[in-house]
Chains A and B, each alone.
Chain A
Amino acid sequence: EIVMTQSPATLSVSPGEGATLSCRTSQSVGSNLAWYQQRPGQAPRLLISTASVRADGLPARFSGSGSGTEFALTISSLQSEDFAVYFCQQYQEWPYTFGQGTKLEIK
């Protein structure tokens, strides 16, 4: 199975600053990568699909990049509601696999 590695595990950032979260896959997934946000006590929600396509209604401060085995989620000018856990996921092949998550916390 494809192993997903996210870094860092925890990222402490001040509101208004930017953050970049990384996701690496153990083999190429092309652009078949998604990012999800999970706030405490809530279900995950789709942010980015196909590595860089924002979900409907997602603010432009969220952007995804990368292809192959290296991907990034960048959030500019962090808002209070952005502090959450972020997961990357590949859907190139079964089994679908997720990264272990990056917790974005307020500094």
Chain B
Amino acid sequence: EVQLSESGGALVQPGGSLRLSCVASGFTFGNSAMTWVRQAPGKGLEWVSDISATGNSIYYADSVKGRFTISRDNSKNTLHLQMNSLRAEDTAVYYCVKQFGGVSLQHFEHWGQGTLVTVSS
């Protein structure tokens, strides 16, 4: 059974930093492209960032480019999202998502339960 377990969400002040992690199990992590998707309270879904299975291809939404960094450690089956210069509009539940296949531009096959990031003073 595929499991994606996010952690690292917290209350942080504007301008602060946070690192989210996602531990994966139940599939060959090193063969899967991974994604972060966020959902502001009561709102819709917004794609944040993509990383290919090897980590060689990375993409960001314009809203987070230059502030967020996605990375992965295939030896530890772990996905990360380093978030810097956080803004109030980054407040959301962040979902770790497994894509179908090893390259990007595929559907989002499995979702974690999410971790809440709140940016507020």
Contacts and interface: CB of A to CB of B under 8 A. Distances in A.
B50 A94 contact: yes
Interface in B87-110: 95, 100, 104-110
Contact of B107 (A49, A93, A101): A49
Interface stretch (B7-15, B19-27, B75-83, B111-119): B111-119
Interface residues of A, number: 23
Interface string A24-36: 0000000010101
B47 A96 contact: yes
Contact of A46 (B46, B95, B109, B112): B109
A96 B47 CA distance: 6
B108 A100 contact: no
B106 A44 contact: no
A43 B95 contact: yes
A96 B114 CA distance: 19
Interface of B: 35, 44-47, 50, 59, 61-62, 95, 100, 104-114
